[in-house]
Structure 1
Amino acid sequence: MPVEHRDDQFEDRLGAALRNAGGAFDADRAALVAGGESRGRRLRMRRRTAVVSGAAAIALVGVGGALVAPWGGDGTGQRAVGAGGTTVGPGDASSTPTPTAAPSPVSGAQLLSTLKELLPEGKYSEELARGTNSERGPSVYAVYDDGKGASALAVGFNRFEPGSVQARQATECPDSAFTPYDDCTRTTLPGGALLKIVKGYEYPDRRVDTKMWTATLLTADGASVSVTEWNAAAQKGSPISRPEPPMSSSQLKTFVTDPAWLRVVNAIPPDPATETPSAPSQTPGVDSGSIVATLTDLLPNHLVVVAKSGEGTEFGYVVVDDGKGKSFVQINVQPNMGDVEGELFGAGSGAVTLPDGIKVVVRQGAGDDKGKGLVMRTADAIWPDGLRVVVSAFNSASQITGPTRENPALTLDQLKAIATDSKWPGLLPPPPN
């Protein structure tokens, strides 16, 4: 029998799967807010909250925190769950029209039944599920064995505003500077849906080679289904039970595009929090392209940029080389951070106030907590108007690989000069009308 969302074990399992799928979703808020540092992953330090988003393209936080993830099988079935929705076959995941009547709820038992119908015959254990009426949103988890070894599997459901940052991130391949993977494909299907398949690993630092493969479907109208499979019976702390997860890329595609799953998304009750438009932030985020361009311009002339980050806001990075080895340099540029000034730059922080009112703290310490020998140097500055600039340099080419040199390519004084440069306020876009 399936266990609905109130089961503590279910919450622990899916919570762990959600954190592990991205490798970085359970942010150390104390470290991010008080120290403004990232250890082993990209960070985006936001006012009143901290979000680690380096692997956001792998795991999706859905309606009520539902997990979006995949498992194994050949996905040959074409089953329907609940009422409403549109018929979508493999390779033809089109937009899901708004139903004329409220669709029937889908129970956890129905989700588990659909899962088993879509997978080849096998043995199941640790079956856990919650339906569409759950406050935390629908999700399914099971350990599946097709005779070739046990595999932990999870499926989750989501809905995004079409064209939003969250929708874009859901279908982007992860940045290899933060998330190692063997392969990532991104395909546009008939009807405008996007399908992303990532063949990656459970641990960003690859300390154990547990594989984690994920397929994410996003329709043109924002409905999302994601499936995750591992080559072990549990996400973490379990021995590898098979060479690879059970489903191949083509099987993942067939499985995640089955119309039964989109009908589950349609049956999720509207979230009142998303129905009420939120007030716009006082100042929009700074474009990552402008951040990287400015950072590059402020680097010492002897440093050559050999890699840089892609699209986004408030965050960017470059990889530089001075002939002595590559060095990873990351930066966050965040407006309206005055409400955390006392925590980050108050008494005991070591902050120095410059003549123009900018407060700045510099520090050096371990760049990871895995004993790899990474060194991180950081300069953290805040302007009188609340603009915060945090720039860090590592003695490695990324935050998930070992040292490439003895020390970072930038000194603390050089980082301080970059963080307090007068060019940063000029990047802020005008506040919305």
Structure 2
Amino acid sequence: MPDADHDSFEERFAHALRDSGEALGAGPYGLAADGAARGRRLRARRRAAVLGGAAAVALVGLGGALMLPGGTDGGSGRQQSAAGSPKARATAPSASTGTEAPAVSAGELVRTLEKLLPGGRLSQAEGRGTDDHPYVRGVYDDGKGKGAVSVSINRVPAGTREAAQNTQCPDKVFIAYDSCATTKLPDGSALMILKGYEYPNSRSGTKLWRADLVTPSGQYIDVQEWNAAAEKDAPVTRDEPPLSATQLKALATARQWRAAADAIPLAQRPQPAPNEPKGTGSVSATLAGLLPKGVKTVGKGNADPEFGYVVVDDGKGASLVQLNDQPDMRDVEGQLFGEGTRTLPDGTKVVTRKSSGDKDIEGIVMWTVDTIRPDGRRVVISAFNSGAQNTQATREAPALTMRQLEKIALDPKWLDLG
């Protein structure tokens, strides 16, 4: 838990994500309801706001959706039953065909899930139609133990980095899982099959397996299943979730879900983030080049112009260092830079924090330096006393001091990344 004296936006948001199940991209039965669309919009603007929590990387690598408990509407608390909605017969332009796609009711989605499941029985089924962020979920029993199953239907801006991120396997430095693979289908769609856990450090026996499909036109289908009748607070009923990887693929690629995605109203379809990073530089590579003498880089993240990390070792144990570089965060400046903020002569604001790195792993600490320049560019860096966020501490304190972290965050090289 964070220190009581540092109830910052980033800490409150990170813990809100954890509490609502986002730590492994595993909200109540998947990317349900309004949380999915809201989460994708937030990811583009807030990815750094959860830096330091496992949720940060879940946002990057697992679709980035903010789930709400019980599949409720974030604003009204409404939950659509299988009966559908009064607007169920409305139509929406189809992005893939250019024609009017008839809306699909919650009841139709439930019947589709029942039809596509390989035998067995589906109970406690409910959903929401395409007029209001569609999803369907239920408890599936194949005779070998009950398992929760969900399908959410969404849209992502076609051809964008955001679309690609939804099918990128997460980094094991942050998320524990047994296997993950992304394949390209003959029609150009990308499909990720991940066998992981409900919690990022696999601290419980609840397993989460998922299939994420993104088509060239931006249809986004997310199928999730658990080896328990609910994703949280339910006893494990079987060793593994009921559907095999092959069955997950078949369910995720079913044409019925794509038709439902085409029926999502234009007003609910996300547009490319206006501040999508345009630079081609790698945060991980730049971060590695700014490390102080005396530390050795033993691990490094992939090329990405917005988020990166390195694992360093100064001879006293591995230490994870991660950084976000965002072009304009002035809209949340007041939330992030409050009490304890210093303002430098050039107008750059700096705030430092020391807190727990993971509320579920004893002994993990996180040191953070958060900066924002007058034009809104935010560079926030955190260091841990462990080589990963989901493993035990490897040392008493991070390998880099607060002064060293601040020097890296304020380096002008970050201005060159776009």
**TM-score category of the 2 structures, normalised to the smaller one:** 0.7 to 0.9
Paired residue for 1:385?
375
Paired with 1:251 and 1:17, the residues of 2 have a C-alpha distance of 27
Tell me how large the CA RMSD over aligned residues is.
3.5
How much does 1:59 deviate?
6.0
One-letter amino acid matched to 1:390? V
Asked if structure 2 preserves the Cα contact closer than 8 Å seen for 1:55 and 1:178, the reply is no
Which amino acid in structure 1 is aligned with residue 364 of structure 2? Answer: L
Instruction: Give the Cα separation in 1 of the matches to 2:21 and 2:134.
Output: 13
Partner of 2:77: none
Q: Does 1:154 align with 2:153?
A: no
Aligned to 1:110: 108
Q: Which residue of 2 aligns with 1:216?
A: 212
Match of 1:245 among 238, 241, 245: 241
Q: Is the 8 A contact 2:24 2:200 kept in 1?
A: no
Structure-to-structure mapping, 1:37-56, within 5 angstroms = 38-41=51-54, 43=56, 53-56=59-62
Residues 215, 60 of structure 1: alpha-carbon distance in 2 compared, 3 angstrom cutoff: farther
Q: Does 1:175 align with 2:174?
A: no
Question: Which of 118, 121, 140 is the matching residue for 1:144?
Answer: 140
* Matches of 2:298 and 2:289, distance apart in 1: 14
Q: Distance in 2 between matches of 1:239 and 1:397?
A: 31
Match of 2:22 in 1: 19
- Identity of matched residues, %: 46
Change (3 A) 1:273 1:151: closer
1:301 matched residue in structure 2: 293
The alpha-carbon distance between structure 1 residues 375 and 287, as it changes in their structure 2 partners (threshold 3 A), is: farther
Deviation readout 1:293-315 (Å, 9 max, x if unpaired):
22212211221112222243422
Structure 2 gap segments, 5+ residues each: 1-17, 74-88
Give the superposition deviation at 1:418: 1.5
1-structure distance, mates of 2:125, 2:49:
40
With 213-222 and 392-401 compared, the bigger mean Cα shift is at: 213-222
TM-score by length of 2: 0.77
- Whole-angstrom CA distance in 2 between matches of 1:388 and 1:173: 26
Greater C-alpha radius of gyration: 1
1:126-137 equivalent positions in 2, closer than 5 A: 126-133=124-131, 135=132, 137=133
Q: 1:334 aligns with which of 326, 333, 343?
A: 326
Distance across 2 between alignment mates of 1:355 and 1:244: 58
1:231 aligns with 2:227: yes
Given the two structures, how large is their TM-score scaled by the length of structure 1? Answer: 0.75
Quote how far apart the aligned CAs of 1:386 are: 2.9
**Higher mean C-alpha displacement, 149-158 vs 303-312:** 303-312
Find the counterpart in structure 2 of residue 191 from structure 1. Answer: 187
Name structure 1 gaps, 5 residues minimum.
1-14, 45-51, 67-81, 85-94
1:22-66 CA distance string (max 9 Å, x none)? 158989x9xx99x9564432539xxxxxxx7244348698xx999
SS of corresponding position for 2:101? coil
Match of 1:423 among 404, 409, 413: 413
For residue 384 of structure 2, what is the amino acid of its counterpart? F
State the partner residue of 1:98: 97
Higher relative contact order (CA 8 A, sep 6+): 1
Q: Paired residue for 1:362, among 352, 360, 363? A: 352
Partner of 1:413: 403
Name the aligned partner's letter for residue 56 of structure 2. Answer: L
Match of 1:310 among 277, 280, 302: 302
CA distance in 1, matches of 2:111, 2:356: 48
Q: Which structure carries more helix by proportion? A: 2
Partner of 1:185, secondary structure, is: strand
Q: How many residues align?
A: 368
